[in-house]
Amino acid sequence: MKSPQYYRVFDYDKRLLPNLYLAALENTSKTIEEARRATGATVGYPAWGLIYYLLLSHLQPQNFNIILETGTNQVCTSIMLAQALRDSKRPGKVFTVELDNMNFQKALINFELAGVSDLIEPFNCDSREFLKMFISENPTVRIAFLDASHLFNDLLDEFEILYPALNAQSLVIFDNTYQIAEEFEDQRVNGALKEIVKRYGGNLINLEFVSWYTPGVALWQKGPF
């Protein structure tokens, strides 16, 4: 693997975070190590703000918005998804899945402390099995954040399962898009995104200087025009 790159910001006004509980957690973090202990391996700031405003700009005012997340981790990005839904005053719910039971139990506590548990339905299972079940019952997903695994085949599997539920306006968000892998290693998220564009086309935008180890957040859309 190439050397880690970190673009998570710490010296910012925590009032920029719209959820007070998340802001309190972030106040304890001055380094990458402290952030990992306080909030887990989450996208961090400014990616939290990016995701928050993406939702505010893209949630439908009349229809029910299904927001899907794989990889709940310790819940911080889930909180931002739910907070954006609440602040938008638009109908919808966040459905999130986490495989690790310890992270899942922490997430349940953090949902309550952040005041967003009423907007989130959590699942503790494998993301691919969850997606198969979920898509069979919900034909259209408005926004998805795929972050359960950074391995090439895992991420590609998730996207391929999700794809039938994506219409032209659906938005899929990916984290950790920087090409950290050497040529002979698993190409991870970076390689999976290249394969997604090769197989499915669509519009892909990569924002490289957010998040951390590995950085980069990408947005994919089938094609709204």
Domain boundaries of the chain, sorted by first residue: 14-221
Over residues 57-66, mean pLDDT? 97
The residues, any chain, with a CB within 8 Å of residue 10's CB and separated by 6 or more, are: 29, 30, 31, 35, 45
The residues, any chain, with a CB within 8 Å of residue 136's CB and separated by 6 or more, are: none
pLDDT of residue 212: 84
* Token representation of residue 47: 């990616």
Looking at the predicted structure, is the pLDDT value of residue 85 above 80?
Answer: yes
* Token representation of residue 165: 């539920």
Residues in the chain: 225
pLDDT of residue 5: 80
pLDDT > 90 fraction of the chain, expressed in percent and rounded: 84
**Is the CATH number 3.40.50.150 carried by domain 14-221?**
yes
Residue with tokens 């895992």: 154
Pairing of strands 120-123, 92-97: parallel
Q: pLDDT tens across 158-170, in order?
A: 999 999 999 999 9
Helix axes 127-137, 152-162, angle to 10 degrees: 10
* Token representation of residue 60: 């439908």
